């Protein structure tokens, strides 16, 4: 035995291990014995009895603690005075009122509930509301994006055909009122338009056009005007430089017209040169397109200057000549300028002839087209129209046609009637408009309100019939009646186009979120409790204690 122990010790020493721990081995043997005894039936019964006694103790003890807690709460409530209840209800009413006011302000400004937005974006992921689904393959994602793009209503922004002059009209408004009539988004779109229409790839060959190419990118108006004068120093026949000075430096329409006449002289000379060599290379074709755009723009603005200065027949002739000379540029909507000038002349037969050409099912509509057609129909019956008489005898054929034309116009743009009926205040129209949106309604009413007022009874007929349109349009707006469904993206684009001091008209009106109703009810209920506590303190204390 000693030799065996010595051999084991030498072996363990050689391997680097210590002697075995006798305490750990004895503890392990005791644990194994205890586990075997606990596996017997009488041991399991003993453990079950102990667990039952513990549960019984908890069941008997918890009601005792609850009873003690309720007794303490009762004692606390019995010591409270009516002033405490009054202060509590007033505080809760005040806090809920603040939440209600903030919710209402957030909804009016952003169109959503703040509480709902926070709960959806922050709280739902915390409580596991967002499902962790595996990512879809790229092909399926591309197909879904394409389908969504096709189903999404298009909110295309158009250049306002009757946009005002920056220096002679927009800037003067800002000098008088101190309010900026144009948004940064609107002016940025105009800068992009100018770069598209008034520049081309060959500008680098001419120093004056290179300077103007940089001028259209400038944000500071004074820097743009300074660049225009630099371009004129390099080339006295730079038409685009005169255009920029007419738009931004001229403070009156007369001064703007002088600059545009100089631009017309230079533009016609450059246009003739481009016509002679446009077939030589693609670069020359691009230059001809640019020179054509400049010439059309200058002639159109000259016609608008004549219209603003009272030379309406001259303006009508210039617009007709321009439409005959460049018939392919119908996307510039020069016919809308012509319609407004003809209405000022009260040449209603000529207006009808223009509508017969452009109020076609294959052409895009506008508020000017639809509401001018309604105005002509209303003109035939508005003078003798009376709601009382019409309700007794019914509508005649001409009156039915007029009402249907008004319904058609209102369905296309439901924002216009409130401006024509002067239920909403007007602002200066933006340089870009969104068709069927509030920006288009502002632009139309700004120039055409006087034409509706001139025809006796036209506004009265509009007032009596325009709201009937909404009974004909399906709700919700999945389908339209005479046009495609009203797009849901107009509000966001109109807020970008119209100044911040203008209250944007929204259609269809959004329903108030649940939390606005909830906070309003909570505020009203708390205020009622505060009033009752103040008037009947003893009775409310008894009620609270009960």
Predicted local distance difference test score (pLDDT) of residue 9: 43
CATH of the domain at 330: 1.25.40.10
- Rounded to whole angstroms, the Cα distance separating 373 from 379 reads 10
User: In this structure, is residue 149 part of a structural domain?
Assistant: no
Residue 5, pLDDT score: 38
pLDDT at position 183, please? 92
- Picking from 285, 318, 345, the residue at the C-terminal end of a domain is 345
Answer yes or no: do 310 and 256 share one domain.
yes
pLDDT in tens, 74-101: 676 666 677 776 777 778 778 878 887 8
Long-range CB pairs of 525-528 (<8 Å, 24+ gap) are 526/89, 526/90, 526/92, 526/93, 526/96, 527/89, 527/93, 527/97
Range of the domain at 200: 160-345
pLDDT computed for residue 336 by the predictor: 92
378 plus 475 within the same structural domain: yes
144 or 173, which is more confident? 173
Encode pLDDT of 293-324 as tens digits.
999 999 999 999 999 999 999 999 999 999 99
DSSP sequence for 223-284: HHHHHHHHHHHH-TT-HHHHHHIIIII--SHHHHHHHHHHHHHHHHHHHHHHHHHTTS-HHH
HEC string of 520-544? HHHHHHHHHHHHHHHHCHHHHHHHH
* Mean pLDDT across 105-118: 69
Q: Is residue 1 part of a domain?
A: no
- Pairing verdict, β 432-434 and 157-159: antiparallel
Per the omega criterion (within 30 degrees of 0), is the bond before 331 cis? no
Q: What integer pLDDT is reported at residue 315 of this predicted model?
A: 94
- Residue 466 within any structural domain of the chain: yes
Examine the pLDDT at 2 and tell me if it is beyond 50: no
Q: Are 115 and 182 members of one domain?
A: no
pLDDT at site 146: 38
Task: Please report the pLDDT score of residue 135 as a whole number.
Answer: 39
Q: Do residues 117 and 172 both lie within one domain?
A: no
Confidence (pTM): 0.67
How many domains does one find in the chain?
3
Query: Do 299 and 263 meet the contact criterion of CB atoms below 8 Å apart?
Result: no
The answer on pLDDT for 460 being more than 80 is yes
Q: How much is the pLDDT for 388?
A: 75
Residue 6 has pLDDT above 60, yes or no: no
Q: Is 373 within the bounds of a domain? A: yes
Residue 311 lies in a domain: yes
Cα–Cα distance between 444 and 366 in angstroms, integer? 9
Q: What is the DSSP letter of 40?
A: S
Query: What pLDDT shows up at residue 140?
Result: 32
**Residue 255's pLDDT band (boundaries 50, 70, 90)?**
very high
Which of 229, 240, 249 is closest to 170 using CA atoms?
249
Report residue 143's pLDDT band, with 50, 70 and 90 as the boundaries. Answer: very low
Is the same domain home to 246 and 164?
Answer: yes
Check whether residue 298 and residue 362 sit in a common domain.
no
* pLDDT score for 3: 44
Indicate whether 245 pLDDT > 60. Answer: yes
Written as six digits, the tokens of 48 are 């079950």
CB 296 within 8 A of CB 275: no
Among 327, 345, 363, the domain boundary falls at 345
Residue 8's pLDDT band, with cuts at 50, 70 and 90, is: very low
Angstrom distance (rounded) from CA 171 to CA 169: 6
pLDDT at position 61: 64
For position 222, what pLDDT does the model report?
92
For 386-432, how does the pLDDT look when each residue is reduced to its tens digit (9 = 90+)? Answer: 777 777 777 788 888 988 899 888 888 889 999 999 989 999 999 99
Query: 296 CB contacts (<8 Å, ≥6 apart)?
Result: 322, 326, 329, 332
What is the overall mean pLDDT for the chain?
78
What does the alpha-carbon distance between residue 281 and residue 482 come to, in Å, rounded to a whole number?
47
- Output the six-digit token pair for 55: 């549960």
222 against 122, higher pLDDT: 222
Q: Are residues 265 and 302 in the same domain?
A: yes
- What average pLDDT score do residues 25-53 get? 68
Burial class (CB in 10 A: 0-12, 13-18, 19+), 67: exposed
Residues 231 and 180 in one domain: yes
Q: Which residues contact 289 (CB under 8 A, 6 or more apart)?
A: 200
Q: Using pLDDT thresholds of 50, 70 and 90, give the confidence band for residue 253.
A: very high
pLDDT in the model for residue 545: 64
Q: How far apart are CA 470 and CA 509, in angstroms?
A: 12
pLDDT at position 431 is 94
Question: At residue 477, does pLDDT exceed 60?
Answer: no
pLDDT at residue number 223: 92
Tokens found for residue 8: 């084991």
Instruction: State the virtual CA torsion across 253, 255, 260, 266 in degrees, nearest 10.
Output: 180
Q: Pick from 436, 445, 367, 371: which is nearest to 402 by CA?
A: 371
pLDDT of residue 121: 64
**What is the pLDDT, as a whole number, of residue 73?**
67
What pLDDT digit, counting tens, does each position of 120-132 carry? 666 556 555 444 4
pLDDT per position as a tens digit, 151-204 = 334 578 889 999 999 999 999 999 999 899 999 999 999 999 998 888 888 877
Cβ count within 10 A of residue 114: 18
The C-alpha atoms of residue 325 and residue 317 are separated, in whole angstroms, by: 12
Quote the CA–CA distance of 226 and 245 in Å, as a whole number: 9
Q: Is residue 20, in this structure, part of any structural domain at all? A: no
215 and 336 together in one domain? yes
Q: Cβ distance 486 to 508 under 8 Å?
A: yes
Tens of pLDDT, residues 486-508: 677 788 888 899 998 998 888 75
pLDDT digits (tens, 9 = 90+) for 379-394: 988 877 777 777 777 7
pLDDT of residue 129: 46
Q: How many CB atoms lie within 10 A of CB 491?
A: 18
> Which pLDDT belongs to residue 147?
38
From 315, 345, 375, the end of a domain falls on 345
Q: What backbone torsions phi and psi does residue 241 show, to the nearest 5 degrees?
A: -65, -40
Q: Minimal CA–CA distance to 512: which of 155, 115, 119?
A: 115
Q: Is the pLDDT of residue 1 over 50?
A: no
69 is a domain residue: no
pLDDT > 70 in the chain, percent: 73
Residues 306 and 447 in one domain: no
Identify whether 129 is part of a domain.
no
Q: How many CB atoms lie within 10 A of CB 120?
A: 14
Assess whether 283 and 363 both reside in one domain. Answer: no
Q: In the numeric block, which tokens belong to residue 419? A: 């401006």
Q: Determine phi and psi for 159, rounding to 5 degrees.
A: -70, 130
Q: Give residue 508's pLDDT.
A: 59
Three-state helix/strand/coil letters over 283-306: HHHHHHHHHHHHHHHHHHHHHHHH
Same domain, 363 and 410: yes
């Amino acid at each position: 035995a000693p030799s065996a122990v010595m051999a084991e010790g030498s072996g363990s020493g050689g391997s680097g291990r210590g002697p075995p721990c006798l305490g750990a081995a004895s503890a392990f043997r005791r644990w194994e014995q205890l586990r075997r005894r606990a596996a017997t039936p009488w041991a399991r019964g003993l453990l079950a009895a102990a667990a039952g006694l513990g549960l019984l103790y908890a069941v008997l003890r918890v009601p005792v603690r609850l009873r003690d807690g309720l007794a303490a709460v009762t004692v606390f409530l019995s010591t409270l005075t009516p002033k405490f209840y009054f202060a509590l209800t007033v505080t809760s009413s005040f806090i809920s009122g603040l939440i209600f006011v903030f919710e209402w302000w957030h909804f009016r400004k952003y169109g959503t509930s703040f509480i709902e937005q926070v709960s959806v974006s922050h709280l739902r992921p915390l409580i596991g509301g967002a499902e962790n689904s595996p990512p879809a393959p790229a092909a399926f994602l591309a197909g879904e994006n394409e389908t969504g793009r096709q189903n999404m209503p298009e909110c295309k922004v158009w250049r306002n055909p009757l946009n005002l002059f920056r220096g002679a009209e927009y800037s003067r408004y800002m000098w008088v009122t101190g309010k900026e009539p144009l948004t940064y988004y609107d002016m940025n779109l105009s800068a992009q338009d100018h770069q598209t229409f008034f520049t081309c790839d060959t500008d680098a060959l001419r120093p004056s056009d290179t300077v103007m190419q940089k001028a259209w990118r400038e944000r500071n108006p004074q820097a743009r005007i300074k660049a225009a004068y630099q371009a004129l120093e390099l080339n006295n026949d730079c038409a685009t430089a005169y255009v920029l000075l007419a738009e931004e430096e001229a403070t009156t329409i007369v001064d703007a017209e002088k600059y545009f006449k100089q631009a017309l002289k230079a533009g016609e000379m450059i246009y003739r040169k481009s016509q002679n060599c446009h077939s030589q290379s693609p670069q020359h074709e691009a230059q001809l397109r640019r020179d054509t755009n400049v010439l059309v723009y200058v002639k159109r603005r000259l016609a608008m200057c004549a219209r603003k200065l009272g030379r309406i027949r001259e303006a009508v002739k210039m617009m007709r000549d321009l439409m005959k000379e460049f018939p392919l540029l119908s996307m510039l909507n020069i016919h809308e300028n012509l319609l407004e000038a003809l209405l000022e002349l009260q040449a209603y037969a000529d207006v009808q002839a223009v509508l017969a050409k452009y109020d076609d099912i294959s052409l895009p509509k506008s508020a000017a087209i639809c509401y001018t057609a309604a105005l002509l129909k209303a003109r035939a019956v508005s003078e003798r129209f009376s709601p009382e008489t019409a309700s007794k005898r019914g509508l005649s054929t001409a009156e039915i046609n007029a009402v249907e034309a008004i319904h058609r116009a209102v369905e296309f743009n439901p924002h216009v009637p409130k401006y024509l009926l002067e239920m909403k205040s007007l602002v200066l129209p933006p340089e870009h408009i969104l068709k069927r949106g509030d920006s288009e309604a502002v632009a139309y009413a700004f120039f055409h309100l006087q034409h509706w007022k001139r025809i006796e009874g036209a506004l009265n007929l509009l007032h009596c019939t325009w709201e009937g349109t909404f009974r004909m349009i399906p709700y919700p707006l999945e389908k339209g009646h005479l046009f495609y469904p009203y797009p849901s993206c107009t509000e966001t684009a109109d807020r970008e186009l119209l100044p911040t001091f203008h209250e944007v008209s929204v259609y269809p009106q959004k329903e108030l979120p649940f939390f606005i109703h909830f906070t309003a009810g909570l505020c009203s209920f708390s205020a009622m409790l505060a009033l009752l506590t103040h008037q009947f303190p003893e009775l409310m204390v008894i009620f609270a204690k009960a």
